Structure 1
Amino acid sequence: MKKIAIITDSACDLPDRVIKKYNIKLLPLRIIYKDREYRDRLEIQPQEVYDNIQQEVPTTSLPTAEDILGVFDLLVEEGYTEAIVITLSSSLSGTFNMVKMLANDYDKLKIRVYDSKTLGMFLGFIVKEAAIYAGNHSMEEIIQRARVIRSKLKGGYVLKTLTYLRKGGRIGKVEGTVGELLNLKPIIGINDNGAYYTITKTRGWKKAVTKLRKMISDEFKDKKYHIAVIHGGAEEEANALMDSIQNIGQIAEGYVAQISPALGVHTGPGLIGYAAYEI
């Protein structure tokens, strides 16, 4: 009997309760310090990264081949016959290519690997919808559902400092430095190719958060939608943003979600944003 599993990587930012509910399997990215290494979300949590970031900014790396093959083997033991792996954007990580290479040589499961062209709770929502579909749909139907959700997703985020994006090479050094000097706060989105881009710019953190709320209102007023307010070391502000949008349309499902350690390394403490889509 056919049984389809859904696998993703630890950059999906889905709450643990959702991952458990749908038996979603996680491939942990790695957080690497000079003298130690952790598996993202399994052996280290975001706050630990933020607490130590002044002393050392770690690097990140792909899931290991051992971890990936271990998940494949586990699925075989659990009676799965097929698996869909939905990864974070191949424009931001080599995870997609790594998984695809290993999946091509693995003959105990039929495996499809799908590049979400996104990350964080944008990826998380795609994965969750795929997992809901997995019970009674074909692999092609599940992947088509993933594509539909990807096309519907709206959102963006703002950072208190651009220092960590600049250090990680994910924003131009000049742009990042000028932004800091002028207190410019770009609201950053992810485009159809899975790369970062600037949606708009504001001056100052409070104006940026106000702009995020306006973006939600403009997009979802009088509509029914799913939303995750995401944060990195800014839980109080994330809860306040979620509280402020309760009367904007009808929230079918809402999360306040902390970004994974692997993403927090690149953004630093002080991130707030949202990912949402209309039903």
Structure 2
Amino acid sequence: MAGSYALYRCAVLSTSSGSLSGILDRDSPIQILHLNVFMEQQEFADGLEISNEEYCNWRREHLDSDVSTTPPSSEDLLRTFQYLVGQGYHEAIVTTLSHKLSDSADMVRQVAEQVPQLKVHVVDTGTCCMPEGFFALEADRLLREGKTPTEIVAYLEGLKERCNIIFGLSTIKSLVGSGTMARLGASLCDWLGLRAVLRFSQDQLCRVESTSDDEKMFDAIIDQVLKLMQGKNREQFILGGLYTGERDRYRIFAERFFKRTGICLDDGVPVSPVVAVHVGICGVGVGMVEKLEAAA
């Protein structure tokens, strides 16, 4: 209800890793907080000053170069929160990527303390990409339905355990410099010429399987998705295709996914450059959210 939404004057913000930049229309009230990619002694705003394609093209030619990511700057956050206060907002719901990937949630909390006029609710989603973005979309939907920020945050907290990302990496060479996958034996996997299939859920990253080629990798991803949906109503799931690097690889995967499941993933959404730093430049996968009943 529009009246309730105006009454609460609550803003919704999402970190750029939620893959919303490319799908929100101009009239969307959801605001994006851009993380940053540091490369070649320069800092680039995630998804704003650099795209997944641009980052991946650069990374292919600079596998030995250092690259890192940083949260939204304290200056940008402070300016954003002060702007919201000036616009009459009293509260804000901020959804962030997992704290295992970024210090963004902590940074938002620290800056929010400097703006006591704005009550900031920080929701560390424990995920990233499409599932992370879904949190912000749900927050906006529930505000429009007249739910209070407190009710919405409770609902979003319950959503965390229902999110999964299943993805496969055709190569992990681009990750050696960042060390992101070192604890998973990434260098050994590459040495053997294997593809890694991984699952990220509730801040935890685990290896599902290793395969010898892309087709087997695609099937392993699909098998894991079907396993997570087994015995449940498929209509309760929101699925989104994701990829990093070559879009043609994703198209092949999406066609195979449709043939085996009857579910169309459409064109998919490239992960943000910040996420690509962590997962590499040759990957495809599926973001999954099992829907919850809306807060009463």
**Normalised TM-score (structure 1):** 0.89
Counterpart for residue 228 of structure 1: 240
Q: Which residue of 2 aligns with 1:32?
A: 38
In structure 2, C-alpha distance between the alignment counterparts of 1:52 and 1:231, rounded to whole Å: 17
Cα pair 1:227 1:254 within 8 Å, conserved? no
SS at match of 1:167: coil
Residue 181 of structure 2 is aligned to residue 171 of structure 1: yes
Structure 1 unaligned residues grouped into runs of 5+: none
Q: CA deviation at 1:68?
A: 0.8
Deviations 1:150-179 (A, max 9, x none): 222233111121223332121226811211
Identify the residue that residue 277 of structure 1 maps to in structure 2. Answer: 289
Q: 2:209 matched to 1:203?
A: no
* Correspondence for 2:272: 260
Question: In the alignment, is residue 212 of structure 1 matched against residue 221 of structure 2?
Answer: yes
Distance 1:132 1:216, change over 3 A: same
Check 1:255–1:75 CA distance in 2 against 1; reply closer, same or farther (3 A cut).
farther
Name the residue aligned to 2:4. none
Number of aligned residue pairs: give it.
Answer: 277
CA distance in 1, matches of 2:23, 2:87: 20
Relative distance call for 1:162 and 1:245 in structure 2 (3 A) is closer
Q: CA deviation at 1:101?
A: 0.8
- How far residue 217 of structure 1 moved from its aligned partner, in angstroms, is 3.2
2:187 is equivalent to residue 181 of structure 1: no
CA distance in 1, matches of 2:130, 2:184: 29
Shift of 1:255: 6.2
Q: Is the 8 A contact 1:50 1:269 kept in 2?
A: yes
Note the C-alpha offset of 1:77.
3.4
Q: Is 2:74 the counterpart of 1:68?
A: no
Letter in 1 for 2:46: D
Q: In 2, Cα distance between the equivalents of 1:249 and 1:76?
A: 47
**Residue of structure 2 equivalent to 1:129:** 138
Secondary structure (helix, strand or coil) at the match of 1:26 reads strand
Task: Say if 2:92 is the partner of 1:83.
Answer: yes
Structure 2 residue ranges without an equivalent (≥5): 1-6, 292-296
TM-score (norm 2): 0.84
Q: Measure the CA separation in 2 of the matches of 1:238 and 1:226.
A: 18
Matched to 1:159, the amino acid is L
- Amino acid paired to 2:81: F
Shift in alpha-carbon separation, 1:164–1:108, aligned structure 2, 3 A: same
Kept in 2: contact 1:14–1:257 (CA 8 A): no
Identity %: 23
1:42 aligns with 2:48: yes
What is aligned with 1:9? Answer: 15
Identify which range, 220-229 or 25-34, moves more after superposition: 220-229
Over 6 Å off, 4+ runs: none
Question: 1:80 touches 1:109 (CA, 8 Å); kept in 2?
Answer: yes
Contact 2:257/2:263 (CA < 8 Å) preserved in 1?
no
| Cα displacement (A) at 1:42 | 1.3
Q: Which residue of 1 aligns with 2:162?
A: 152
